């Protein structure tokens, strides 16, 4: 029996790019079937992440035209990571392996051949890794690479220059399903699941059409904790306040030293003022960081569903 592959693709407001890339994924599945690597029951599953444009309609049309294309839609926008997870959980019991990839054509579809080969040779996890980032702007490249370094430094086990283009076996998916956390960050979770893994290298292209959903602001939010939530924003503001006070205290320190040098203070005043200013700033920063974790715990205790599928193109 040949293994069944599902290519899982999250889509959010992708009406410009889907008509171009949608068919390419189906062609890839057909090609892999034709060379005898995967079973004829292999499919492409598009996950519409609550798009506000015609994306879902396009997916339904594609599903009507191509037998190997299926689609599910989430009841609202839940973000990239949740959309990928929704797709993976949807297919975990009916496939042997999955490959997740973005729908914008930036990740080289042809790397899938090598990924499937690695799977056939016994790997359960195959990471797609960008060999270079020429097509990204200098700024995106620098911030992204800096981000990986910071994550590593904090002790998070992530694969350098690997995004969410990866092959996972159904064995891994079944274990991943046991990770019940609400704040999901697949890049960090997959290495925790373990199993035999390897990497396949590819060159990243420009987006085929449409625009990135990761503007600077979103990139920073992702870099900060992966997922933001309205209910923990006040805590963030405390942290912002802390930074502001820390900055002001720096000015305060200089000011108090100047006043001291001018000689019109009582002794001990300068050091007292400096210490109070400085420490209160630091304390607020610390509260903010602690609050961040409490916010996360708050969200985890509610244990709300990570995604809700409202429609499917099949059944």
**Options 55-63, 72-80, 97-105, 236-244: segment touching Mg ion (CB under 5 A):** 97-105
Q: Which of ligand UDP, Mg ion, none lies near 66, with the C-beta cut-off 5 to 8 A by kind?
A: none
* Cβ atoms of 100 and 25 closer than 8 Å: no
Residue 168 has, within 13 A of its CA and on its CB side, a CA count of: 30
The one segment of 39-47, 96-104, 134-142, 160-168 that binds Mg ion by CB under 5 A: 96-104
Residue 10 interaction partner, one of ligand UDP, Mg ion, none, beta carbon < 5-8 Å per kind: ligand UDP
Helix segments in the chain, DSSP class H: 18-34, 55-65, 80-91, 111-120, 138-153, 170-176, 186-193, 216-225, 233-262, 269-302
Pick the binder of ligand UDP from 14, 70, 96, 124 (CB under 6 A).
14
DSSP 4: P
Pairing of strands 309-312, 43-48: unpaired
- Please identify which residue in the block is written with the tokens 């914008």: 104
Beta bridge partners of 107: none
Applying the rule CB under 6 A, the residues between 182 and 241 that interact with ligand UDP are 212-214
Q: Cα-flanking dihedrals φ and ψ of residue 14, to 5°?
A: -115, 30
83 binds ligand UDP (CB under 6 A): yes
Q: Which of 59, 60, 69, 79 binds ligand UDP (CB under 6 A)?
A: 79
Cross-strand bridge partners of residue 311:
73
Under the binding rule (CB under 6 A), the answer on residue 10 touching ligand UDP is yes
Q: What are the two backbone dihedrals, phi and then psi, of residue 185, each rounded to the nearest 5 degrees?
A: -145, 90
Beta carbon of residue 160, minimum distance to ligand UDP (angstroms, whole number): 16
Among the listed residues 5, 62, 103, 284, the single contact to ligand UDP using CB under 6 A = 103
The answer to whether residue 108 forms part of the interface with Mg ion (CB under 5 A) is no
Binders of ligand UDP in range 48-77 (CB under 6 A): 49, 77
When the beta carbons of 81 and 270 are compared against Mg ion, the nearer one is 81
Q: Which two tokens stand for residue 314?
A: 């099949």
255 binding ligand UDP? (CB under 6 A)? no
SS3 312: strand
Residue 119, token pair as written in the block? 């799977």
Build a one-symbol-per-residue string for 247-286: x at contacts with Mg ion by CB under 5 A, - elsewhere. ----------------------------------------
Other Cβ atoms closer than 10 A to 103? 25
Residue 22 interacts with ligand UDP (CB under 6 A): yes or no: no
Which residues would be at the binding site for ligand UDP (CB under 6 A)? 10-12, 14, 49, 77, 79-80, 83, 102-104, 106, 212-214
């Amino acid at each position: 029996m040949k293994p069944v592959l599902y290519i899982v693709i999250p889509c959010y407001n992708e009406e410009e790019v889907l008509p171009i890339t949608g068919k390419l994924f189906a062609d890839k599945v057909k090609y892999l079937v034709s060379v005898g690597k995967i079973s004829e029951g292999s499919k492409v599953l598009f996950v519409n992440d609550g798009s506000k444009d015609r994306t879902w309609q396009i997916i339904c049309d594609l599903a009507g035209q191509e037998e190997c294309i299926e689609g599910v839609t989430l009841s609202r926008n839940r973000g990239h990571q949740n959309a990928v997870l929704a797709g993976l959980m949807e297919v975990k019991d009916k496939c042997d392996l999955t490959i997740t990839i973005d729908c914008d054509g930036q990740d080289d579809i042809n790397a899938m051949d090598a990924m499937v080969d690695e799977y056939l040779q016994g790997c359960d996890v195959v990471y797609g890794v960008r060999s270079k980032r020429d097509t990204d702007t200098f700024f995106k490249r620098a911030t992204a690479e800096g981000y990986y370094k910071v994550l590593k430094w904090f002790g998070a086990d992530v694969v350098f220059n690997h995004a969410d283009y990866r092959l996972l076996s159904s064995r891994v998916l079944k274990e991943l399903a046991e990770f019940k956390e609400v704040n999901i960050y697949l890049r960090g979770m997959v290495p925790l699941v373990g199993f035999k893994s390897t990497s396949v290298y590819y060159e990243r292209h420009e987006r085929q059409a449409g625009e990135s959903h990761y503007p600077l602001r979103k990139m920073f939010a992702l870099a900060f904790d992966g997922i933001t939530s309205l209910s923990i924003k006040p805590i963030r503001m405390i942290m912002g306040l802390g930074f502001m006070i820390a900055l002001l205290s720096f000015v305060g320190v200089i000011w108090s030293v100047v006043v001291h040098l001018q000689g019109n203070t009582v002794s001990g005043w300068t050091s007292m003022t400096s210490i109070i200013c400085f420490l209160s700033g630091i304390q607020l920063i610390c509260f903010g960081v602690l609050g961040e974790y409490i916010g996360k715990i708050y969200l985890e205790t509610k244990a709300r569903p990570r995604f809700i599928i409202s429609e499917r193109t099949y059944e």
